[in-house]
Structures are given as C-alpha cells and as structure tokens.
C-alpha cells in the first residue's frame, strides 16, 4: 500500500516541483543536491537530483534563473542557481495560483466533513 501512496505523492509533486525549486532558489542561491536536501527537510522526500535538473534547465531557458560555478573544497566546482528578476515575478504569480488552487482543493476535500460535522 505504501508504494501506491508514494506514487500518488510523486504525481502530485510533479505538477508543483518547478514552483518549489524557484521558491527555494529565491531564498538564497543553492546547488542541486542542496535543493534536494532542503526539500527533504521540509517533507518532500520524493525529490531526487535526477528529477530536478531537467526542471532547472527549463527554468534557466525561460530566463527565470541563472547558474554560476563556485569552487568546492570537496572536488569539482559546484553549479549554483540564483533567481533573476523575471523569476521573482513568475514566483509571485505561481504562489498566487498555488494559493487559489490549494484553497479550492481544500474546499472540495473538506466539504464532506463540514456537511457531516
């Protein structure tokens, strides 16, 4: 049964992962593995490095973020990402859309408990 829950959670996350990534990057510049760790700390354990790099590339091609290399004490340079002004504007829009969408879902999902309560 747990496998089904993880699959469903993964499908739900796929639709909002770009918003989550942009929100994390807007807090402070970070590199891929660091983003995965931050998401895990906030309860999104299903996110792996392999799933974020295509999205980071898309966000970069869309002019929402940019990358730059930083020397690492532990090996090759790390690729950090930071938001651009267009990315900050887009994040505001996505946050508003998320609030509207999540509120609507909450009303639908919680309706029965209100009716029964």
Contact 74, 88 (CB under 8 A): no
How far apart CA 81 and CA 83 sit, in angstroms, is 7
**Amino acid 113: pLDDT:** 63
Q: Residue 97: what pLDDT?
A: 92
What is the pLDDT, as a whole number, of residue 72?
87
pLDDT tens digits in sequence order for the chain, 117 residues long:
456 555 655 566 667 889 999 999 999 999 999 999 999 999 888 778 888 999 999 999 999 999 999 998 888 999 999 999 999 999 999 999 999 989 998 999 887 666 565
pTM above 0.85, yes or no: no
Under DSSP, is residue 81 helix (H, G, I), strand (E, B) or coil? Answer: strand
Distance CA 101, CA 62 (A): 23
Domain 2-116 has CATH 1.10.10.10: yes
For the chain, give every domain's residue range: 2-116
């Amino acid at each position: 049964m747990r496998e089904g829950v993880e699959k469903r959670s993964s499908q739900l996350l796929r639709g909002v992962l770009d918003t989550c990534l942009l929100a994390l990057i807007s807090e402070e510049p970070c590199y891929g593995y660091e983003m995965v760790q931050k998401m895990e700390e906030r309860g999104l354990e299903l996110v792996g490095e392999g799933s974020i790099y295509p999205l980071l590339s898309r966000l970069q091609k869309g002019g929402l973020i940019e990358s730059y290399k930083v020397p690492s004490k532990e090996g090759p340079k790390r690729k950090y990402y930071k938001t651009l002004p267009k990315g900050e504007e887009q994040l505001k829009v996505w946050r508003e859309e998320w609030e509207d969408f999540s509120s609507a879902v909450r009303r639908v999902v919680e309706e029965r408990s209100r009716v029964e309560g």
